[in-house]
Structure 1
Amino acid sequence: MILLHGALAILSGALAASIALSHPLWPASLALALLVWCVVVCLSPVVWLAVLPAVLPLAGFSPWTGWIGVEEFDLFCLGAAAGSLSRLVLQRLWPARWLRAAERNAGGFGDERLAGGILSLPAASLPRLPLSPDCRRRLAGCALALLAASSLAAVWRGMIAAGGPPVDWFEGYEDPLNCLRVAKSLFLVLLLLPSLCHLLRCQPRSSMRCLAAGTVAGLAVVALAALWERLAHPGLLDFTTAYRTTALFWEMHVGGAALDAFLALTLPFAVRPVLRAVAPGSWLAAALLAVLACYACLTSFSRALYLGVAVAVAVLVCSHVRQAAMAGSAGSGRRRLPRWQQRANRVLAGILLAEVLLVAGIGEFMSSRLASGERDFVGRLTHWQEGLGLLQDGSDILFGRGSGRFPADYSAQVAGREMPGRLHLMDEAEGRHLGLQGAHWLAPQRGRWELLQRVPAPLAGSYRLRLAVRSLQPAVLVASVCHQHLLYAAACAESTVFSPGGGGQWREFELSLHGSAGLPASRQLPVPGFFSLRLLGPAGFVEIDALSLIDGNGSQLLANGDFSQGLAGWFFAARHYFLPWHVDSLYLEMLIDQGVIGLSLLLVLVVLAIVNLCGLCRRQHELAPYLLAALLACMATGVFVSVLDMPRVAFLFYLFLCCALFVNERPLASVPSPAGSDKAPELLCRV
């Protein structure tokens, strides 16, 4: 085992170093930060359980870097894996020192002040669960190993279908790198699994509380980002404009439900600090987070998320009522909330209800979304049928089409469903330039696809744009500079380029972009900007080069305008038309990627996790109800949205799933002493 952990630590560190040194913006800084992070995790492994969920929303700079298949969050995960696995190796090599540290950290999980202890109820009063805990854990380990093998096979099938291994950091959704992008979350969690299991055995209380604290911190970051986005764009109380919050999830540049899945996983944990607050100040902070998180949930206008939150609320209410009844019947002396806190909780419940009624009552967007549910469901059924139609033979049904192959296969094989645009890097004798390809159907209102690059804000005055264009047919390009968070532009300076085409000669253009009305005075917040270039037609393909954007002060705003560094700094986004990128179901995306085998293994793991958590809930485990509510909310939301094709959210899902599978049903009562026992290190570090 020591050799395996050492090899995995070296592999994780090498991959992380390769990513950091290849970063388009900060290679040296990230390499140094990675080294520090590895050392910190090696010294205190429990830290990563708090840090990873907390930084998950922040560690994604794809709109600035142009990377889609790899992002900064991968560095955090790989660095944590390298540091934690190195710690396990050191514990095996020098066990005495680490055993003494473990003895100080050992102890049961639970908060006697709140729940009366995990095992405060007599075992005879608890219903027996199917299979013993040890048997369930062994079964979960086997299922995880099989799922990892299925995922590896799916990656291989996907890359072969895409033309071979990845060759570029900037590959997109139809390229081989997308196969690894979709599958990497499971492998990142598996790299951290030895450390996770060790922490759950030896430091159950601190590890689970770190996970809860990190999750709450990540939720707070997303809630504040959603508040800022609403203030900066449609307005805090504007619930009529068709604007759906995306927060910090750049993955939603082609639609999807990254925010929905993240909120479904994290919202249940917002209840815990409200119930555990011991002072009015801490309760007020927790209540404010609950209000902001509810606002972010409502302004996503996601009906699937609303379903998931309803499931989570039902789980938490039932768990709270059951625990209260069981604790009372067992005479465990369960702590009663102070009267001020009981009243404050009732006030908070009223505020949350009023918040829901406010969003539903004074705006038309939510009512229109709810009213169109039946029509949209019919369209979603059609979309699902088209996705299932990709499984053409027995091999596809059993093993799937391959990881990350849905966008390419769906766009190529379903008539009328092709992507609205593509990017092509072209290397010729005179240098490298970019090709923009539009859709074959001429329906601008159906979908909009644009090439993007972040530009500094604030945006004001006029701009001078230069570019070279080559096309065989006449082409119309629309260039703009906009206040834009991700999908929705608030105020733009825009102009049109008409290229007559023909001759295969480059034509140079210079034009001015003049902004119209700016942002309303009530919404003058720091808003990022995008330079945008989109192809309207009639040409289906144009080549562009030598892009330059000069502001009123004479400053160059665009980087890599000649594409000599590939697509570094360039991004893209779609609007209104997202069918080619997502099948809109967690279950169908797993079926299409990994077939019946992969889907069955995932469902087995989820069932085992739910069974384990139900047993812990009966024993009044402090965090089991929140983990159970999070997983069930995500599975309910996943009926109508994709989850696993968004790596950061998929990582959190797999992390919660593994915690639910391997969290100890009983606290660690003692740690073996190294004296007189050669097996003490093995007993301590066995995973």
Structure 2
Amino acid sequence: MAAIGAQPAAPGLLGFGELKLHLPATRLQWLALVMSLGLGGIGAELAWHHPLSGPLALAAWGAAALLAALFWIKTPVLLFAPLPLIGLAPWSGWISFEEMDLLVTACGCGGYLAYALQLNARDRAPAWRHALVYSPAVVVLILGMAAMALLSMLRGFADAGGFRFGWFHGYHEAMNSVRNAKALFLVLALLPLWTAAAAARPRGFSRGLLLGLVLALAAGSAAALWERLAYTGLLDFSTDYRTTGLFWEMHVGGAALDGFLVLTLPFALLALLRTRSPWRFAAGLGVALLAAYACLTTFSRGVYLALPLALVPMVLLADAQRRRAAGSGPESSHIDSTLGAVDEPLPRLAKLGALAMAGAFALAAALVFGGGGYRGLLALFFVMVILLTMPASLWLPGFGQRLTAVLMGGLLALLLGALSWALSMAVPKAAYVLNVVALLCCAALRWKDQPGQARPLYVLMVTTSWFWLLSTMVIVADYWGGTAGRWTALAAGLTLGGLWAAMLLQPRLWPLQGAASAGKAGWRKRALLVAGLLLVMSIVAALGGGAYLRDRVATWKEDGQTRLSHWREGLRLLHGPQQWLLGKGAGRFVSSNLYEGPPDSQIGDYRLRTDETEAFLALTGGKHVLGYGEQFRLSQRIATPAPGPISITLVSRTATGAALSLQVCEKNLIYMESCTDLEAHLQPYRAEGAAADAPSGWQTHQLKLGAVGAMGGDWWAPRFVTFSMALASNGARVDIARIALQDSQGRPLLVNGDFNREMAHWFFSSDRYHMPWHMKNAALHVLFEQGLLGLALMGSAFVLVLVRLSFGRGRDHPLAPAIVAALIGFATVGAFDSLLDVPRVGLIFFTLLLLGLGLRALPGEGVARVA
């Protein structure tokens, strides 16, 4: 155990100043030391070979390992929090290895070393306190999954023509099998460490996992927000642009961001439902709203379907947990019962009122946005916020007094509304000022509430001010949208006004009744409802203000037929019983589809070759329709060029005529903006006197790219600048020995333009032609790579986790509802995309899957109440 002090070192201790570390004393500690050294050696080797800077990568890796050693119980925070931001492949050119591998090895090296030397150790916890326990049958299942993944990787090597190590292999070479299979093995490398952490400090480990995934969601959603700000604008829902964030794995399409969001969002929502701290609640609500925006701008129908299918079971499971925690039966005997009383369920009429309110707002939002735009929608939002904060004292006066308040308030508000409309017609912008004044009046009256006192005059004033606020919302829509805005907003206002009158007259319809929703006790519930309003507004704005989402929703049937055809074509690539049983091998779908699939699946490719003197790049074009967006591009991110022409020096050769497209664009990953390009028509070259069938020789071309303007975007939303080259000729091949770019000030823009450092800094993409790169279904992806046997093992583990955490031994673990929701969401999105060919998404998935096989609730674990 670590100790602070200057006492003499006891036997079995190492002394480093004031820090004392135990030497390994048990077999498990010696094994942990071996694991630490092994992962340390692998991580240091990978870091030293990082294409951007070996020394910097090694220093960062060492810092991460040190943090993992100091906080080994909470290594999930260190591992998952930066995960969506650390994909540097567009800069480095690495895809077989990546920064995720460095982070995993650093966490493993530091964590196992801390465990072996008993840094921050505690007394060994009794078996009943172990939160992560695997039965023998589950251990056999996990070993079976690992064996199938290993066999799949070996079969992938064989299908690629044998194993050959390379730092910069692409999708067709042997190292792609490592890339596709490594996620499971990376999780297995950390699983013993996490098992020890869950035994030593189970709550600390669970909270670390929750915090890590919530921070990851925040980081990934922030990246999505930056991308929208930089490339489309925050509220542009019409541009044909789907958010990719910093998930480089979407360079050939796919649903990496979609899978990441559905795997992490349930944890943020679960934390939001359970926190009682206003500051933590505010932070969690901000993360949830940011993630909702990211989900919306994926324009993914799979995500839109996955969220309700996943989050409804999560809320039900969390609610069942808190009821068992507060109960007195045998089911709650091992759960902390100090959580307070469980809220009574809403009465039937209150549920009806809640549904009516939700439906009325959704309808009103659609009507108001259609005519009054974003300004009318914002005015409607504040109308609903004031409605949700209505004080309970309004229902204390008698029915007759409340009826009088409704009738008199409506008449007074009608008079104020008429005067306000006249003023808005006479004075420019007065509509907005009047709306703010009415809002401030409502807020001031809410502040003057006296709980528990029946004040009929107060009810009249509140009702009048709210009806007036409702009328100013109509005026704002009328001022902005004219006649259309006036009548649609008026219909919405009458609907909401009638609903509020009914609820004021019939208290049982009001959904926020009861002690749990009154005063300060109900702030969380009202805040969640306000967040729901924002979400509905976002959906209405996306559907009403953007044609792109409407078009995608309208084409679901055609896209479904395309996927069915693609799945049939993919399964035809499996030949014979052995491939159906064991699979074709990890990472082999792209190559199999290229060589054995239909002609329109023959995509472009690149290979690094060498002749007698130097390395060169062999770039080929696809045989499908090569539109502007369908070309296979080889790219490099460059510094922002100075405005003006760009000079290009190209040394190339080709056996047949070929059109080489060269571009400088503002581009994150697969959508190009502000491009300056040229198309160079290359012809074969043979020296004088050479035979007609002699190979083409090298030619040097001096090219001028048109003048580029100011690029790079704003400082608060920068745009990446990318140079790309692609073949616009079907099936053509061009060999490139050297390429160099200079901007108008003579600055060189390209690195490794002679390919002597292999493919360092070069990255490839297929902007809009995605089908040949993916199986487009997670289950069929596993079937193709691991066969029916691998699919059966993984499917069994998946179902077992859902059963354990919903009805079995792990159902009362605090994270069980979120894990179930994450896996359901993953399966839903995975029905339309591969997902497991994205290592970072695979890492999160296998973490939740393997932890779900062993998590169990502890005596006294307890769960916080769900609002």
Q: Secondary structure at the match of 2:674?
A: strand
Q: Secondary structure at the match of 1:360?
A: helix
Cα pair distance change 1:223/1:7, threshold 3 Å: same
After TM superposition, give the deviation of residue 344 of structure 1 in Å. Answer: 1.2
- Counterpart CA distance in 2 for 1:291 and 1:412 is 45
Cα pair distance change 1:618/1:497, threshold 3 Å: closer
Give the corresponding residue for 2:106: 79
Given that residues 644 and 709 in structure 2 are in contact (C-alpha distance below 8 angstroms), is that contact kept between their aligned partners in structure 1? no
Q: Secondary structure at the match of 1:435?
A: strand
Q: Which has the higher contact order (CA 8 A, sep 6+)?
A: 1
Give the corresponding residue for 2:121: 98
Cα pair distance change 1:175/1:539, threshold 3 Å: closer
Cα pair distance change 1:552/1:340, threshold 3 Å: same
Q: Residue 53 of structure 1: which of 57, 80, 86 is its match?
A: 80
Give the corresponding residue for 1:249: 247
After TM superposition, give the deviation of residue 23 of structure 1 in Å. Answer: 1.1
Q: Secondary structure at the match of 1:223?
A: helix
- Counterpart CA distance in 1 for 2:811 and 2:158 is 49
Aligned ranges 1:415-434 → 2 under 5 Å: 415-434=598-617
- Counterpart CA distance in 1 for 2:811 and 2:108 is 32
**Structure 1: tracts of 5 or more residues without a match:** 110-132, 670-687
Aligned ranges 1:122-161 → 2 under 5 Å: 137-161=135-159
After TM superposition, give the deviation of residue 265 of structure 1 in Å. Answer: 0.1
After TM superposition, give the deviation of residue 272 of structure 1 in Å. Answer: 2.7
After TM superposition, give the deviation of residue 523 of structure 1 in Å. Answer: 10
After TM superposition, give the deviation of residue 33 of structure 1 in Å. Answer: 2.7
Confirm or deny that 1:345 pairs with 2:368.
no
- Counterpart CA distance in 1 for 2:860 and 2:150 is 35
- Counterpart CA distance in 2 for 1:460 and 1:233 is 20
Give the corresponding residue for 2:771: 579
Q: Secondary structure at the match of 1:510?
A: strand
- Counterpart CA distance in 1 for 2:541 and 2:240 is 16
After TM superposition, give the deviation of residue 89 of structure 1 in Å. Answer: 3.3
After TM superposition, give the deviation of residue 282 of structure 1 in Å. Answer: 3.0
Q: Secondary structure at the match of 1:580?
A: helix
Q: Secondary structure at the match of 1:98?
A: coil
Cα pair distance change 1:418/1:538, threshold 3 Å: closer
> For residue 763 of structure 2, what is the amino acid of its counterpart?
F
Superimposed CA distance per residue, residues 10-29 of structure 1 (whole angstroms, 9 cap, x where no aligned partner): 32222112111111111112
After TM superposition, give the deviation of residue 88 of structure 1 in Å. Answer: 3.7
Moved more, 419-428 or 212-221: 419-428
Superimposed CA distance per residue, residues 517-564 of structure 1 (whole angstroms, 9 cap, x where no aligned partner): 767999983111110111112661011122111112221110011111
> For residue 616 of structure 2, what is the amino acid of its counterpart?
H
Give the paired residue count.
640
Moved more, 615-624 or 289-298: 615-624
Identical positions, percent: 35
Cα pair distance change 1:267/1:450, threshold 3 Å: same
Q: Secondary structure at the match of 1:46?
A: helix
Give the corresponding residue for 1:235: 233
Give the corresponding residue for 1:322: 320
Superimposed CA distance per residue, residues 365-404 of structure 1 (whole angstroms, 9 cap, x where no aligned partner): 1111111101110110111111111221111111100111
Given that residues 251 and 765 in structure 2 are in contact (C-alpha distance below 8 angstroms), is that contact kept between their aligned partners in structure 1? yes
Give the corresponding residue for 1:499: 682
> For residue 208 of structure 2, what is the amino acid of its counterpart?
C
Given that residues 461 and 515 in structure 1 are in contact (C-alpha distance below 8 angstroms), is that contact kept between their aligned partners in structure 2? yes
Cα pair distance change 1:236/1:607, threshold 3 Å: same
Given that residues 272 and 284 in structure 2 are in contact (C-alpha distance below 8 angstroms), is that contact kept between their aligned partners in structure 1? yes
- Counterpart CA distance in 1 for 2:283 and 2:145 is 41
Given that residues 181 and 586 in structure 2 are in contact (C-alpha distance below 8 angstroms), is that contact kept between their aligned partners in structure 1? yes
Superimposed CA distance per residue, residues 77-108 of structure 1 (whole angstroms, 9 cap, x where no aligned partner): 012122223334335xx9xx8344x669x979
After TM superposition, give the deviation of residue 325 of structure 1 in Å. Answer: 4.6
Cα pair distance change 1:523/1:449, threshold 3 Å: farther
Q: Residue 853 of structure 2: which of 642, 661, 664 is its match?
A: 661
Confirm or deny that 1:570 pairs with 2:762.
yes
- Counterpart CA distance in 1 for 2:79 and 2:571 is 35
Give the corresponding residue for 1:39: 66
Given that residues 231 and 523 in structure 1 are in contact (C-alpha distance below 8 angstroms), is that contact kept between their aligned partners in structure 2? no
Q: Secondary structure at the match of 1:479?
A: strand
Confirm or deny that 1:309 pairs with 2:336.
no
After TM superposition, give the deviation of residue 190 of structure 1 in Å. Answer: 0.4
Cα pair distance change 1:618/1:569, threshold 3 Å: closer
Given that residues 154 and 399 in structure 1 are in contact (C-alpha distance below 8 angstroms), is that contact kept between their aligned partners in structure 2? yes
After TM superposition, give the deviation of residue 68 of structure 1 in Å. Answer: 1.0
Moved more, 278-287 or 164-173: 278-287
Q: Secondary structure at the match of 2:633?
A: strand
Q: Secondary structure at the match of 1:532?
A: strand
Cα pair distance change 1:521/1:540, threshold 3 Å: closer
Q: Secondary structure at the match of 1:444?
A: coil
- Counterpart CA distance in 2 for 1:401 and 1:449 is 25
After TM superposition, give the deviation of residue 223 of structure 1 in Å. Answer: 0.8
After TM superposition, give the deviation of residue 138 of structure 1 in Å. Answer: 2.4
Given that residues 473 and 539 in structure 1 are in contact (C-alpha distance below 8 angstroms), is that contact kept between their aligned partners in structure 2? no
Aligned ranges 1:272-671 → 2 under 5 Å: 272-327=270-325, 330=328, 332=337, 333-334=340-341, 338-444=521-627, 447-457=630-640, 460-503=643-686, 504-515=696-707, 525-537=717-729, 540-615=732-807, 620-667=812-859
> For residue 650 of structure 2, what is the amino acid of its counterpart?
L
RMSD: 2.6
Q: Residue 173 of structure 2: which of 158, 175, 182 is its match?
A: 175
Cα pair distance change 1:429/1:396, threshold 3 Å: same
Superimposed CA distance per residue, residues 455-495 of structure 1 (whole angstroms, 9 cap, x where no aligned partner): 11376332111111211111211111111011011111212
Q: Secondary structure at the match of 2:168?
A: coil
Cα pair distance change 1:520/1:6, threshold 3 Å: closer
- Counterpart CA distance in 2 for 1:334 and 1:75 is 47
- Counterpart CA distance in 2 for 1:398 and 1:230 is 44
- Counterpart CA distance in 1 for 2:730 and 2:584 is 34
Superimposed CA distance per residue, residues 331-390 of structure 1 (whole angstroms, 9 cap, x where no aligned partner): 942476621221111111111121112111210111111111011101101111111112
- Counterpart CA distance in 1 for 2:528 and 2:275 is 11
Q: Residue 190 of structure 2: which of 177, 189, 192 is its match?
A: 192
Given that residues 484 and 528 in structure 1 are in contact (C-alpha distance below 8 angstroms), is that contact kept between their aligned partners in structure 2? yes
Cα pair distance change 1:492/1:396, threshold 3 Å: same
After TM superposition, give the deviation of residue 666 of structure 1 in Å. Answer: 2.2
Given that residues 711 and 721 in structure 2 are in contact (C-alpha distance below 8 angstroms), is that contact kept between their aligned partners in structure 1? no
Superimposed CA distance per residue, residues 173-231 of structure 1 (whole angstroms, 9 cap, x where no aligned partner): 01000001001000000000101111222211010111111111111111111111011
After TM superposition, give the deviation of residue 632 of structure 1 in Å. Answer: 1.3
Given that residues 492 and 515 in structure 1 are in contact (C-alpha distance below 8 angstroms), is that contact kept between their aligned partners in structure 2? no
Superimposed CA distance per residue, residues 478-516 of structure 1 (whole angstroms, 9 cap, x where no aligned partner): 111111011011111212212122421222122222346
**Structure 2: tracts of 5 or more residues without a match:** 1-26, 330-336, 344-515, 687-695, 862-867
After TM superposition, give the deviation of residue 580 of structure 1 in Å. Answer: 1.8
> TM-score, length-normalised on structure 2?
0.70
- Counterpart CA distance in 2 for 1:371 and 1:165 is 46
Greater Rg by CA: 2
Moved more, 548-557 or 400-409: 548-557
Given that residues 204 and 668 in structure 1 are in contact (C-alpha distance below 8 angstroms), is that contact kept between their aligned partners in structure 2? no
- Counterpart CA distance in 2 for 1:533 and 1:581 is 20
- Counterpart CA distance in 2 for 1:527 and 1:520 is 5
> For residue 98 of structure 1, what is the amino acid of its counterpart?
A
After TM superposition, give the deviation of residue 429 of structure 1 in Å. Answer: 2.1
Given that residues 585 and 638 in structure 1 are in contact (C-alpha distance below 8 angstroms), is that contact kept between their aligned partners in structure 2? yes
Given that residues 616 and 624 in structure 1 are in contact (C-alpha distance below 8 angstroms), is that contact kept between their aligned partners in structure 2? no
- Counterpart CA distance in 2 for 1:387 and 1:470 is 35
Given that residues 275 and 281 in structure 2 are in contact (C-alpha distance below 8 angstroms), is that contact kept between their aligned partners in structure 1? yes
Q: Secondary structure at the match of 2:609?
A: strand
> For residue 151 of structure 2, what is the amino acid of its counterpart?
A
Q: Secondary structure at the match of 2:772?
A: coil
Q: Secondary structure at the match of 1:213?
A: helix
Given that residues 244 and 301 in structure 1 are in contact (C-alpha distance below 8 angstroms), is that contact kept between their aligned partners in structure 2? yes
After TM superposition, give the deviation of residue 308 of structure 1 in Å. Answer: 1.6
> For residue 717 of structure 2, what is the amino acid of its counterpart?
L
- Counterpart CA distance in 2 for 1:196 and 1:339 is 38
Given that residues 621 and 730 in structure 2 are in contact (C-alpha distance below 8 angstroms), is that contact kept between their aligned partners in structure 1? no
